[in-house]
Structure 1
Amino acid sequence: MPAAPFQPMVFVDLETTGSTGTVDRITEIGIVELNEEGEVREWSSLVNPQTSIPGFIQSLTGITNDMVAGAPTFAELADEVLSRLHGRLFVAHNARFDYGFLKSEFKRLGLDFKAPVLCTVKLSRKLFPQYSKHNLDALVERHGLHMPARHRALADADVLRQFWQVLQLQLPGETLKEAVDALTGRSSWPAHLDPALLDELPERHGVYLFHGDNDLPLYIGKANNLRQRVLSHFSADHRMAKEMSLAQQARRLTWIETTGEMGALLKEAQLIKQWQPTLNRRLRRNNELCTWRLVPLSDEEGDDGAVRPELAWARDLDWGRQDQVYGLFGSQKDAVKTLREIAESAQLCLVTLGLEKVVAGRPCFGYQLHQCSGACIGEESVADHSERLRNVMADWRVQTWPYGGPVAVQEGRGWHVLDAWCYLGTATSEAEVKSLLSQGRPTFDKDTYKILVSWLPRLRVEPLSDTRRDPS
Structure 2
Amino acid sequence: MQLNLKNPIVFFDLETTGINIAKDRIVEISLLKVNVDGSEQSKTYRINPEMPIPKKSSEIHGIYDEDVADAPTFKEVARQLANFMEGCDIAGYNSNKFDIPLLAEEFIRAGVDFDMTKRKFIDVQTIFHKMEKRTLEAAYKFYCDKTLKDAHSAEADTRATYEVLKAQLDRYKELKNDVEWLSKFSSHNRNADFVGRIIFDENGDEVFNFGKYKGQKVTEVLKKDPGYYSWMMNGDFPLFTKKVLTNIKLRSAFKKE
Q: Do both share a fold (TM > 0.5)?
A: yes
User: Match of 1:5, as an amino acid?
Assistant: N
Query: Which has the bigger relative contact order, CA under 8 A and spacing at least 6?
Result: 2
| Partner residue, 1:22 | 22
1:124 has 2:128 as partner: yes
- Mark the CA change 1:203 to 1:57 in structure 2 (over 3 Å): closer, same or farther: closer
What residue number does 1:139 align with?
139
Partner SS for 1:44: strand
Alignment map for 1:314-353 (pairs within 5 Å): none
Relative to structure 1, is the Cα distance of residues 262 and 3 closer, same or farther in structure 2, using a 3 angstrom cutoff?
closer
Are residue 229 (structure 1) and residue 161 (structure 2) matched?
A: no
Shift in CA distance, 80/56, structure 1 to aligned 2, threshold 3 Å: same
Distance 2:100 2:139 in 1: 21
Q: Determine if the alignment matches structure 1 residue 5 to structure 2 residue 9.
A: no
Could you tell me which runs of 5 or more consecutive residues in structure 2 were left unpaired when the two chains were aligned: 206-243
Shift of 1:110: 2.3
Distance 2:64 2:108 in 1: 26
* Cα-Cα RMSD: 3.1
Q: Would the aligned equivalents of 2:127 and 2:186 in 1 still touch at CA under 8 Å?
A: no
Indicate conservation of the 8 Å contact 1:30/1:154, yes or no: yes
Q: Deviations over 1:403-427 (max 9, x none)?
A: xxxxxxxxxxxxxxxxxxxxxx4xx
Aligned pair in 2 of structure 1 residues 55, 184: CA closer, same or farther (>3 Å)? closer
1:145 positional shift: 3.7
User: Could you tell me which of 138, 157, 182 is aligned with 1:180?
Assistant: 182
Query: Are residues 183 and 57 of structure 1, via their aligned partners in 2, closer, same or farther at CA, if it must alter by over 3 Å?
Result: same
Q: Which of the pair is proportionally richer in strand?
A: 1
Q: How does 1:46-445 map to 2 (within 5 A)?
A: 46-95=46-95, 96-113=97-114, 114=116, 115-126=119-130, 128=131, 131-133=132-134, 135-143=135-143, 144-172=145-173, 175-177=176-178, 179-183=181-185, 228-229=199-200, 233=204, 259-267=246-254, 270=256, 425=257
Residue 336 (structure 1) aligns with: none
Note closer, same or farther for the CA distance 1:176–1:4 as it changes in structure 2 (3 Å cut): closer
- Once residues 181 and 117 of structure 1 are traced to their aligned partners in structure 2, the CA distance between those partners, rounded to angstroms, is 5
In 2, Cα distance between the equivalents of 1:146 and 1:100?
A: 29
Q: Secondary structure at the match of 1:32?
A: strand
Deviations 1:87-131, CA, capped at 9 Å, x for gaps? 1111011112100111000001223431321111112233x2xx3
**TM-score, L = length of structure 2:** 0.70
Tell me if structure 2 keeps the 8 A contact 1:4–1:35. Answer: no
Distance 2:146 2:89 in 1: 22
**In the TM superposition, what whole-angstrom CA distance separates every residue of 1:268-304 from its partner, at most 9, and x where no partner exists?**
5x3xxxxxxxxxxxxxxxxxxxxxxxxxxxxxxxxxx
Q: Partners of 1:151 and 1:44 in 2: how far apart? A: 14
Uncovered stretches (5+) of structure 1, i.e. residues with no partner: 186-197, 205-223, 235-256, 271-424, 426-472
Deviation at 1:80, TM superposition (A): 1.5
Q: Is the Cα contact below 8 Å between 1:167 and 1:176 reproduced in 2?
A: no
**Whole-angstrom CA distance in 2 between matches of 1:35 and 1:231:** 34
Q: Quick one: distance in 2 between partners of 1:148 and 1:141?
A: 11
Whether the 8 Å CA contact 2:32–2:41 is kept in 1: the answer is yes
CA distance in 2, matches of 1:71, 1:142: 36
- Looking at structure 1, the residues matched to 202 and 64 of structure 2 have their Cα atoms a distance apart, in angstroms, of 41
Counting aligned pairs with the same residue, the percent is: 24
- CA positional deviation for 1:21: 2.0
Provide the rounded CA distance (Å) in 1 between the counterparts of 2:245 and 2:54: 38
Normalized per residue, which structure has more helix? 2
Rg larger for: 1
Q: CA deviation at 1:184?
A: 6.6
Query: 2:51 is paired with a residue of what secondary structure?
Result: coil
Equivalent pair of 2:126/2:186 in contact (CA under 8 Å):
no
Q: Within 2, Cα distance between the matches of 1:41 and 1:163?
A: 18
Deviation at 1:176, TM superposition (A): 4.0
Instruction: Tell me, yes or no, if the aligned pair for 1:258 and 1:264 is still in contact at 8 Å.
Output: no
Output the TM-score relative to the length of structure 1. Answer: 0.40
